[in-house]
Structure 1
């Protein structure tokens, strides 16, 4: 996509410019969401700033001087309909200095880290504030009065239990939330443990955001992916370029950032991520002490994974071969979309076929072939985890 029009344009105007240039197709559903985003842009320009400037000052304000917040937006709909693109446009235009754009999982990981840090301070006698939520909320609001989340989802009970209290503080003191999701708010944390305790957050959320559906008839991302090579070989400059082009296309050119997945007290580093897409090298996945549970956590967090530089697998790489087999099994079972660059076609990757690895790798090769098919792509799109 070409660079977005300048700061003074609205989201609707940006869509019209891109449609007129032929880069986008006219889409009434997208225009409707764009109009709602422009409404928030206008509200942000006229909003009253918080009277308390410090990170902790408003904690003690009680009922006095609460900030006026612009009513936010919750955009839900199927994948590939343009939610991320519209969020990109809105965030660039938002006339506010203190703003934050991130994936919802990343935000919640940050919240839990801050809560842990506060509890350590309490344990060390550095604070007398027993409840970590007010100071954590104060820190977050001091950094960002506008929060923009990609892929709002709640699957973890720890997240579910903290959200209501956290956003009671944030909303009460002027925070505006704009978020995308694949499900309506009423289906967040569906069938989750102790969900009745989570429902007050859903009611509060709906009171502070306008809920809109983006049900465009076209899955634009599916159209793009169909034309992209998903398995390139042999390794070299040409395959690297092909992977880079596919990554840029899939992520709409958004800047990738490192992130982490917290897994039972351990950290799984993700070197590059944009939304629900992640990019690893073979060595970062299969030459590290990772196992099935780690690969399943990656498959749960991301629905598209790029794997660069899969080498030939010989007898010296037995552990790496085992991990690669487990990795592909996990991704296949979760219908993860895999883009890969490799030294050879799947059936030729395993040079030394001995023992159980040789037998199991036949399944891996077969799955790598199937994961390139149009049928698998359709299944991937249909069965991706609701967020």
Structure 2
């Protein structure tokens, strides 16, 4: 059988990938999971023929964490694309949104244990769950994941996940975090934990030498931004809905931590600091398009834009912008125009090719 190491080496040889020793250390770990999954009995095996009900145990999975741009998602894709069993690869936020919707539907139907049908459905359909960017920012998710994952593991579902955080830092400083701690221990029991510590930020490198702030917005600019998006995502995208205190915060286009939205998507709605912090936590790079000229007539939108840029800046989220004018000319009149000077300065700083080189944690 062709191994993941063979596939990786072939892609290095043809120039698709660049050899990275830190990534290469992860491949045998993923191959071990893949091999053990391949050796598990199928539903049509001996146990089913004799009426046995015993379910195969979940294979010990992998929790791969490290800074942004180190290749975690690429390795996840490589592994998932060559899975020997029915599997699903999904962003963790999107998965938890589906779980929350399933729980609400079960409760409305009067189901006593609203998590049980979700576990049954997932374990009936797949044997491997691949999560991208596991992180817990919502207390509702924090209170659910323990029982959910216990059920999945008990039903033989193997989990492989990436994250920017070591398990012990999940839901750090969260409300009632002590109730979440058993889930961290469960993760460390059921998944091997590995730090992908590559010195190279490939996301940063792909933007090196490329402008990240474009004005004015012309047809050529839109084409250039499309090229940036396609280079970073391969043209793939899905909508990502983040749950923040019961509200939906929607990123219209999202793939592997790369998001794309317009100014009005993110600043034309009644979002606050908490919403923007969750966006900054979920996104590695944001393409923010069509920033307009801001005046006293759209003061609320301007205030939200300031808050959004502050959140992205503090979280070191690489940002590509298209705007009607230079940062210093976006907001020159109205309340808050003086304070906007700091935002303009931050937008300038974020254009530097080395800005954001340090990984988010």
Q: TM-score, normalised by structure 2?
A: 0.88
Q: Is the Cα–Cα contact under 8 Å of residues 263 and 291 in structure 2 kept in the other structure?
A: yes
Stretch deviating more after TM superposition (154-163 or 135-144): 154-163
2:41 maps to: 48
* Change in CA separation of 1:227 and 1:319 when aligned onto 2, cut-off 3 Å: same
> Does residue 80 of structure 2 align to residue 91 of structure 1?
yes
Q: Report the alpha carbon displacement of residue 231 of structure 1 after superposing the two structures with TM.
A: 0.5
Of the structure 1 ranges 167-176 and 217-226, higher mean CA displacement relative to structure 2 is found in 217-226
Alpha carbon RMSD of aligned pairs, Å? 2.6
Q: Deviations over 1:288-321 (max 9, x none)?
A: 3334443333223324221112233456544433
SS of 1:355's partner is coil
Structure-2 residue corresponding to 1:82: 71
The alignment partner of 2:287 has SS state of strand
Contact persistence 2:138–2:245 (CA under 8 A): no
What are structure 2's unaligned runs of at least 5 residues?
46-50
**Cα 1:159/1:21, change in 2 over 3 Å:** same
Q: CA deviation at 1:94?
A: 0.9
**1:103 correspondence with 2:96:** no
CA distance in 2, matches of 1:315, 1:187: 42
The residue that corresponds to 2:9 in the other structure is 16
Distance 1:190 1:265 in 2: 20
Give distance in 2, aligned partners of 1:311 and 1:192: 36
CA distance in 2, matches of 1:76, 1:296: 20
The aligned residue for residue 280 of structure 2 is 299
SS, match of residue 261 in structure 1: strand
8 Å contact from structure 2 (residues 56, 156) kept in 1: yes
CA contact (8 A) 2:37 2:59 kept: yes
Residues 374-385 of structure 1 mapped to structure 2, 5 A cutoff = 374=353, 376-378=355-357, 381-382=358-359, 384=360
| Secondary structure of the corresponding residue to residue 377 of structure 1 | coil
Pick aligned residue for 1:279 from 249, 254, 260 = 260
**1:57 alignment counterpart:** none
Residue 298 to residue 111, structure 1, CA distance change in 2 (3 Å): same
TM-score, structure 1 as length reference: 0.83
Cα pair distance change 1:32/1:328, threshold 3 Å: closer
Matched, 1:198 2:177: no
Gaps of 5+ in 1: 1-7, 53-60, 123-128
- SS of the residue 2:289 aligns to: strand
Name the SS for the 1:183 alignment partner: coil
CA deviation string 1:164-216 (max 9, x = no partner) = 21112111111011111233333433444444433333333233223233222
- Residue 173, structure 1, aligned to residue 155, structure 2: yes
1:260 counterpart SS class: strand
- The CA deviation string for residues 136-166 of structure 1, in whole angstroms up to 9 with x for no partner, is 2112222332100111223333323322211
Cα distance, 1:224 vs structure 2: 2.0
What number of residue pairs does the alignment pair up?
356
Structure 1: how far apart are the matches of 2:147 and 2:235? 32
Shift of 1:50: 4.8
Hey, what's the Cα distance between the residues in 1 that align with 2:298 and 2:171?
41
Which residue is 2:349 aligned to? 370
- Measured in 1, the distance between the counterparts of 2:311 and 2:166 equals 28
